[in-house]
Amino acid sequence: MSVRQTVLDQVAIVAEQQRKTIPPLTDDMPLVGSGLDSLCIALIVANLEDELGVDPFGLAGEVAMPETLGDFVTFYEKAAA
């Protein structure tokens, strides 16, 4: 499974588990205001670390927080490469 699909799956799974209503998963969906709260984002990040074996937030240097779902996917694709 691709990194992209893994990220999208985890967003959908966590949203459902946390009973959050979110818009369709598109690259331009903003993370803030999408219906996902900070707990959801934390769960997604933890699940992705387990699934992909990478933590892009733990990489050396300053990390800019992704603003959209597309940015979030790219963030993980780069870290997994």
Mean pLDDT of 62-81: 87
The phi and psi torsions of 19 (rounded to 5 degrees) equal 55, 45
The answer on pLDDT for 62 being more than 80 is: no
pTM of the predicted model as reported, rounded to 2 decimal places: 0.88
Residue 60 pLDDT grade (very low, low, confident, very high; cuts 50, 70, 90)? low
* pLDDT, tens only, 24-50: 999 999 988 889 999 999 999 999 999
Structural domains of the chain, with CATH: 3-80 (1.10.1200.10)
The answer on pLDDT for 73 being more than 80 is: yes
Query: In 1-81, where does DSSP find H-type helix?
Result: 3-17, 38-52, 69-80
